Amino acid sequence: MSSRVGYLFAVILLLLAAVLRTHSFVSLPIGFNDAEITDVQITEQVRFGGIEVFYDLNGEGREGLYSVIQAVVTTVFGNGLFGYKLLSMWAGLLTLAVVYALAQRLFGPVVGVAALALLATNMWMIVLGYQVLRESLLPLLVALMLLTLARTLAVYRGVHGTVPDTTVFALLGVLLGIGLYIHPVHLLILLFSMVAIAFRLFSKQRLPRQNVSYLLFSLLVMIIITMPYLISTLRLPTLSGAVRVFNGYQIGDNPPFKALVDTIGALFFVGDANLAFNLPGRPLIDLVSGALVLVGVLAAARQWRRSRYALILIATVILLPAAIFSPTTPDFLTITPLMPLIALYFGIGINIVYRSVVPSTRLVVLIGAAILFAFNIGWTVGDLFTTWPTTPGVNRAYHARAGHLAQYLDETATEIPTVVCVSQGVIESSDVFSGTDLTLQMMNHKNASIRYADCGTSMIFVNGGGRQQVIMPDPQTLTRMQPYLRRWLDLGTPVDGLPTDSALMLEVSQELADAVGIFTTSAPAGYAPDAVGGAGLAVPPVRFGGNLAFLGYQRDGAQVYAPGDIYTSVTYWRVDGVIPPDLRLFTHILSDPATAPAAQNDTISVEPLQQLNARDIFIQVTFVPLPRNMPPGIYGISIGAYTALNNERMPVLFNDVPRGNRLFIGQITVR
C-alpha cells in the first residue's frame, strides 16, 4: 500500500470515527456518572478562581490541568452536556490522527491504516470520547509522546538525514513536564521516555550529536515546567501523584496473578463490569483482533534491538503495571494509556500476516481484514447505541433523570416560564451536587429565565398563576412537600416523555384569584395596634415597602398548640417590582404586641430574589417551633418583611401612607 492510498483510507476512517463519536453525542447515555461529576466539580472550582496543582478530595489528591482546560473550553462553548464533552471528543479524534501518523512513520501505511481502523471502531475509545474524565487525555498524551520520541530519537523507518528543528524538542520537553499535571500515570510515561532515550543513546546506531544537545534542551524545558509540581509534591506528599500511580493497590485485595489474568481477560474475553464504562461482559477487543495483537507483540519482541520496536516495547512494559496493579480488575480506565500501543501491535500483526502469505493469497487476507472491520462496526454500533444504553442500571449510573430534565429545559425554558424546585437532598453518591445542581450543570443554555424555590416550603406562581412548568430534579420532591403546597401541584399535568414526578405543566390564575378572594373573609388580617392610625382591618392586597404586597394567609383550623409543637404559617405574597436581594420574611408569636416574641422564625425560600418579576406570586410556608417552657395563653401572630443587611423593616402602606411595619394574622392558643 502506498502512502497516498494510506492517507485516503485514513481520511475515510477519521470521518467514520467522527460520525460514531458525534452520533447521540449528548445522550449516550444522557447525564454524568459519579467519576465525571468529580471532574465537573473541580472544573467549577477552577472557574471561580480555585487553581491548584493538587486538589484535595477527602484526603486523595487530584491533578488540576484537565479541569483548567475544561474551564476554558466550557467558558467558550457552555458547560452543559455538550460543552463538557467537547474536550474528550476532540482529544479522541486527535488521538486517532496521531496514532496513524506514528504507525505510518514507524512501520508503514498498512500498519497505520490497521491501527487507525481498530481505534476508530473500538467501543471503549468511543465511550471515552463521551466521558468528562481526565483519562480521556491519556491516549493522546501517550501517542504524542511516542511520536515526538520517534522523531527526536531518529527511529523512523527511514532515518532522516537532517536533525529535526528545535520545535520538536521543545514539544518533547513540554509533554514530559505537562503530563504530570494531568494524571499520576504520567510518572510511568516519564519513566519509559527516559528509558527509551537511554536505550537509543547506547544503541549501535549512533544518534547525531546535535540530537543529543537538543535532548538536553528538552530536559531543561521539562525541569522548568515541573518545578511547581515538585514543590507541591514536597509540600503535600500525601496528595502527590507518586502515591496514586497504582490507585492504592494492595496485594491482599487483588493478588498479582489474578490481576494479571483479569487484565488479559479484559482484552479478549470478559471486560470491565462497570456499567458506567462498558456493557458488562464485553471485552475490550474481539478474539481475532486479540490474536493479531499477540502476533504483533511477538513480532516486536523478536526485533527488540531495532529502535522503533524497542520504543513501543519499552512503553508497554513500563505502562502495563498500572493496568495490572489496580484495586479492581479488569478496569478499562487503567488500560486506557495502553490503547495506542494495542493499536500499533494490531497493525503490526495485520502487516505480518499480510506479508507472510504468498502474493496470490493476499487478497484473501485483505477480504478477511475487511470482514473483521465490518464485524467490529456492527458489533460496536449494536452494543453502543442499542444494548448498553438500555441495560438496567445505566440510567442510574449516569443520573439520567437530571440529564433528561436538562435536555428538556434546553428546549423549553426560553419559551415557557419555569420554576425549578431546589433539591432537599443530594443524588446518590454525589456529595456536593444536588439533583438541581446536576440538572443545571448539564444544561447547555444558561440564559433561560428560571426561577428557583425550595418546594418543601415555597412555590412560585409566575405572572399571577399563568402557564408555567415546574421542574423537580429530586424524585422525592412531591413526597417531601408540605401538604398544602402539594395540593397546588396536584392541579398540574405531567409532561410526557420525562421521568415520573419530574415535570408538571401548571396554570392556576383563576384558582389563585379565588383563593385570595376567600382570604378576605375567612382569614382577616389587621394592622398593628401600635401603628399610626391604630388597629384595624387590613384588606388585601396590602402593600409593603420594597415592591412587595401581602395577599393573605391560610388559616390553621386547630389554632390550639401544646408547648414544643410547631406552628405553621402559610402566607401569600405578590411582587410588584424590583425587590431587595436581602429581603427576609418574619413570623413572630407574641403574648402582647408590645413585648418581645415568645417564638419566631425569619426566612424566605425563593432565593435568589432577583429572579422574581412583577406579578409573580409566591407562597411562603414558615415553621415556628414553640418553646417547651412556653406559658399557656393566647398569642398573636405578626408577620412582616425586612432587609437582612441593615435589619430595617419594610413599612406597611395604606394609600401610600405607612401604617406600621407588621401585620397581625390571627391568634393561637397554647395549652
pLDDT in tens, 261-290: 888 888 888 888 889 999 988 999 999 999
Which pLDDT score is estimated for 427?
37
328 and 477 share a domain?
Answer: no
- Low pLDDT (below 50) residues in the chain: 159, 424-431
Same domain as 432, residue 325: no
Beta bridge mates, 654: 657
For residue 439, the model assigns a pLDDT of 87
Q: For residue 179, is it within any domain?
A: yes
Q: Per-residue DSSP letters for 429-490?
A: T-SS-BHHHHHHHH-S---S-EEEE-TTTEEEEGGGT-SEEEE--STTHHHHS-HHHHHHHT
Q: Identify the domain containing residue 461 by its residue range.
A: 399-507
Determine, yes or no, domain membership for 394.
no
Same domain, 592 and 614: yes
The pLDDT, as a whole number, for residue 157 is 60
Kindly report whether the peptide bond that precedes residue 330 is cis, defined as omega within 30 degrees of 0: yes
Are the CB atoms for 373 and 121 separated by under 8 Å?
Answer: yes
End-of-domain residue from the set 367, 387, 407: 387
In eight-state DSSP terms, residue 328 is: S
Give the number of other CB atoms < 10 A from CB of residue 331.
22
Same domain, 162 and 147: yes
Please tell me the pTM assigned to this model.
0.85
Alpha-carbon distance 320 to 138, whole Å?
14
Same domain, yes or no, for 239 and 353?
Answer: yes
Same domain, 337 and 416: no
Question: 538 and 492 in one domain?
Answer: no
CA pair distance 455, 422, nearest whole angstrom? 7
According to the model, what pLDDT value does residue 430 have? 41
Assigned domain for 425 exists: yes
DSSP, res 361: G
Q: Are residues 313 and 353 in the same domain?
A: yes
Question: What is the number of structural domains in the chain?
Answer: 3
Question: For residues 601 and 532, what is the distance between their CA atoms, to the nearest angstrom?
Answer: 26
Whose grid coordinates read 442510574?
396
Q: How high is the pLDDT of residue 281?
A: 84
pLDDT for the residue 580: 93
Distance between CA atoms of residues 513 and 536, nearest Å: 24
pLDDT for position 444: 83
pLDDT at 253: 64
Q: Is residue 7 part of a domain?
A: yes
Domain match, 190 and 325 both = yes
Residue closest to 94 by CA, chosen among 25, 16, 14: 14
User: What does the pLDDT read at residue 574?
Assistant: 95
User: Is 378 inside a domain boundary?
Assistant: yes
593 touches 638 (CB < 8 A): yes
462, 487, 507: which is the final residue of a domain? 507
Q: Cα–chain-centroid distance for residue 322?
A: 25
pLDDT in tens, 310-354: 999 999 999 999 888 887 778 899 999 999 999 999 999 999 998
Last residue of a domain, one of 483, 507, 531: 507
Q: What is the CATH number of the domain that holds 584?
A: 2.60.40.770
* Same domain? 153 vs 231: yes
Same domain flag for 237 and 180: yes
The torsion of the CA quartet 380, 384, 386, 392, rounded to 10 degrees, works out to 130
148 plus 187 within the same structural domain? yes
Please return the burial class of 217, using the count of CB atoms within 10 Å of its CB with bins 0-12, 13-18 and 19+: middle
Place of cell 406570586: 617
**Domain-located, residue 299:** yes
In a domain, 392, yes or no: no
pLDDT of residue 426: 36
Burial of 45 (0-12, 13-18, 19+ CB in 10 A): middle
- Picking from 616, 631, 629, the residue whose alpha carbon sits closest to that of residue 670 is 631
Give a yes or no: residue 175 inside a domain. yes
